[in-house]
Amino acid sequence: MFADEIRKKAEDAPGNVIAGMIDRLDNINKQEVFAKLTIARIHGFINVEDFFRLHSLLERIPYVDLAKLPYYNEDYYDESGDTELLFATGALKLASISAEDGNKYVLSALGENLLRFGIGVNIDVKRERGTELEPRTATKEDIDELFKV
């Protein structure tokens, strides 16, 4: 049962835990997202650990930036500042590093679950395993410099 899970994982009374979680949300719309996450947990779509993690994401992301999450379905960067904030919360992960085009980011597994189960946007994130690095061609001078004794 949901309340028992909360009691065991938080080692506190479930009513206190849930009330505190709701109280920390700074926007009524975030409370609606949290309600959807709760329903997703009750139905078993997310585990209890991710329920707590997703709440933490929701708490730290400004409400206006939640609307930006779908842009990160594919490698993306937004110069307005939401990329750095979403990355710092754990909603994004680094997708590629490029000196020419700049770094690109994509939804993390938690960011995808927040979007899917909290906001109701069902997407299939195109994420590669690991971080893609921009290829660099080594010149003869580079090779000589590397192995200079």
The pLDDT assigned to 128 comes to 62
Q: For residue 104, report the phi and psi dihedrals to the nearest 5 degrees.
A: -120, 150
In a domain, 149, yes or no: no
Residue type, 107: L
Residue 11 falls in which region: left (phi positive, over 0), alpha (psi -120 to 50) or beta: left
In a domain, 139, yes or no: no
Q: Please give the Cα distance from 140 to 143 (Å, whole number).
A: 5
In a domain, 49, yes or no: yes
C-alpha distances in Å from residue 82, one per residue of 3, 68, 73: 34, 8, 15
The label of the residue with tokens 């000589």 reads 144
Question: How would you write the pLDDT of the chain (149 residues) with one tens digit per residue?
Answer: 899 999 999 999 999 999 999 999 999 999 999 999 999 999 999 999 999 999 999 999 999 999 999 999 999 999 998 999 999 999 999 999 888 888 999 999 999 999 999 999 888 776 566 555 454 555 667 666 656 65
In a domain, 43, yes or no: yes
Question: Coil, helix or strand for 148?
Answer: coil
* Residues of the domain holding 14: 2-132
Q: Please give the Cα distance from 40 to 46 (Å, whole number).
A: 6
For the record, the structure tokens of 143 come out as: 């090779």
In a domain, 64, yes or no: yes
Radius of gyration of the chain (CA): 20
The pLDDT assigned to 109 comes to 93
The pLDDT assigned to 129 comes to 60
The candidate with the shortest Cα–Cα distance to 98, out of 49, 132, 75, is: 132
Tell me how many domains the chain contains.
1
In a domain, 62, yes or no: yes
In a domain, 51, yes or no: yes
In a domain, 145, yes or no: no
